[in-house]
Amino acid sequence: MAEHLEVSQGSKKEKYELLLKQIGLQIENEKDTIAVMANVASMIHETFGYLWTGFYLVKGDCLVLGPFQGPLACTRIKYGKGVCGTAWKEGRDIVVDDVDKFPGHIACSSKSKSEIVVPIKRGEEICGVIDIDSEKIAAFDETDLIFLREITDAISDTFNPSESNSF
């Protein structure tokens, strides 16, 4: 398979639609979760040019840094801490228009202005989150939520429960 990413020049929705097709192909060809996450982080990052795009994976009482693209990031986030730990604890997506207004936000980069976090669920269990940071205020909206949920659903199918906690 050619390792070439096609990026739509159209709307955000059109960009996501083309991205999702290509993520589908990745998953068809590769079942290793970390390998899939690594390419998905790269594909989202290249498509939209965000500041930081990556994954945190549940390990014990922490989220531990997974594959990502962008500046150096904190490696561990406790349950209920920051935007990621809150999304994990509350089992919900979180869109933050202005990170300075989110109590307890963990600033890995002072350039980050807005953020979206979508949990990766296997049934009721949360096994990780996708986290994206933008240098622009209020960069994320309903379109991001809809497509990032589709992306996390597709990725969760590659999780092997017998291998959880052993990434």
Residues lying near ligand SME in the complex (CB under 6 A) are found at 52, 73-74, 77, 82-85, 105-106, 108, 112, 115, 131, 133
Q: How far is the CB of 8 from ligand SME (least distance, A)?
A: 26
Give exposure, 31-47, as e/b (b: 16+ Cβ within 10 Å): eebeebbbbbbbbbbeb
Comparing CB distances to ligand SME, the nearer of 30 and 46 is: 46
Q: From CA 60, how far away is CA 47, in angstroms rounded?
A: 33
Q: How far is the CB of 108 from ligand SME (least distance, A)?
A: 4
Q: From CA 152, how far away is CA 148, in angstroms rounded?
A: 6
Question: Are the beta carbons of 126 and 91 closer than 8 angstroms?
Answer: yes
Measured in whole angstroms, the distance separating CA 28 from the mean position of its chain's CA atoms is 19
Q: How far is the CB of 25 from ligand SME (least distance, A)?
A: 27
Comparing CB distances to ligand SME, the nearer of 47 and 134 is: 134
Q: From CA 163, how far away is CA 161, in angstroms rounded?
A: 5
Comparing CB distances to ligand SME, the nearer of 93 and 133 is: 133
Sequence-separated (6 or more) residues with CB below 8 Å from residue 17? 8, 147
Q: How far is the CB of 146 from ligand SME (least distance, A)?
A: 22
Q: How far is the CB of 28 from ligand SME (least distance, A)?
A: 29
Comparing CB distances to ligand SME, the nearer of 27 and 131 is: 131
Helix (H) or strand (E) holding 127: strand 125-134
Comparing CB distances to ligand SME, the nearer of 19 and 129 is: 129
